[in-house]
Amino acid sequence: MYRIIDGKAISAAVKEAVKTEVAQLKEKGITTGLAVIIVGEDPASKVYVSNKKKACEALGMISREYALPENTTEDELISLIEKLNSDKEINGILCQLPLPKHINEKKVIDSIIPEKDVDAFHPQNVGKIMIGDYDFVPCTPAGIMEMLKYENIDVSGKRCVVIGRSNIVGKPMAMLLLHKNGTVTVCHSKTENLKEICREADILVAAVGRANFVTADMVKEGAVVIDVGMNRVDGKLCGDVDFDSVKDKTSAITPVPGGVGPMTIAMLMKNTLTAAKKQNNI
C-alpha cells in the first residue's frame, strides 16, 4: 500500500523551524531580509512573487519586492542588484525567471553575490554543490531531499533515476542524491531505453515538464516516486507522473498539487535564514 508524501505538512514543519530561528536572531538585533525582483507582467511569476512575500511576512522576515517594467534595461536591473548586494538589511536576493528576452539571464545571475544567491544559481554556488561543500542548494531539489529525510527514506545504496537535466532541478538533484550515496542515473530526451532504466529505480524523480509522462510501465514495484512537474491540462494542475495509474505500484509518491510545490518556497525561506546566519558569523 502506497503512502502520500504530504508536501504541505512537511513545508509547514520547515517553515515553523525557520520562524523560530528568525525570532531568535531578532532577539539578538539581527533581522532576516529577502529582496525579490520581478521584471515584466508574467502572470505565473506574479503569483510566485506574491507567495514568496506572504511566506516572508508569516515567518517574521523583511520582504522587499521590486516590480520593474518589461522595458527595464539589463544595465538598470544589474544596477539594482549591485545596490542590494551591499544593502545590510537584505540577506538574500532572488530575481524571478524567466526574464524578458532582451536581458541576459546569465549576466543577471552572475551579478548576484554568491553570499546572497539564495536560489543557488551563481556558478560559484553550483561548483560548491558539485564538490559537496555548499551553503545553498536550489530550492526544489533541496525540498525533495528534505521530504526524503522527513519520510525516513534512505538514499544510501539505492538506484536513483532523475528524468530531466535542467540546471535548476535535474543536475543539482542528481548531485544531492549522489552526496547521500545513491547510485544515480540522469535521463533526458536523448536517453535510449528510458522505460527500462526507470523500471530499475528505487527512487524516481520526474522533472521533465510533460504532463503524465511517467506511466505505470515505467515504475518498479515498491519505488518511491517524486513528481516535480507543474503542468495544466484542461485548466487542471497535474504533474509529470500519471498519478492514478502509478500510485498503486509505489511505496510512496508525491501528489500534484500539494507535493514538491510547497517545499520550494519553504526551502527558499530556509536558504534566506542560512544567508542571514552566515553574514552575521552565526
The backbone torsions φ and ψ at residue 223, rounded to the nearest 5 degrees and listed phi first, read: -70, 160
Q: Establish whether 75 is a catalytic residue.
A: no
Strand bridging mode 236-238 / 231-233 = antiparallel
Distances (CA, A) of 53 to 42, 103, 125, 240, 252: 17, 24, 24, 28, 31
Q: Identify the bridge partners of residue 94 per DSSP, sorted by sequence position.
A: 36
**Sequence-ordered list of residues with C-beta below 8 angstroms from that of 30, at least 6 positions apart, any chain:** 276, 280, 282
Q: Establish whether 96 is a catalytic residue.
A: yes
Q: Establish whether 52 is a catalytic residue.
A: yes
Cα–chain-centroid distance for residue 221? 27
**Sequence-ordered list of residues with C-beta below 8 angstroms from that of 75, at least 6 positions apart, any chain:** none
Alpha-carbon span 278 to 282, nearest angstrom: 6
Amino acid letter, residue 35: A
What grid cell was written down for 237?
A: 494542475
What grid cell was written down for 210?
A: 510533460
* Catalytic residue selected from 15, 96, 227, 242: 96
* Catalytic residue selected from 15, 116, 117, 119: 119
Alpha-carbon span 176 to 144, nearest angstrom: 10
* Catalytic residue selected from 15, 52, 158, 270: 52
Closest alpha carbon to 77 in 16, 114, 35, 47: 35
The residues assigned a catalytic role are 52, 96, 119
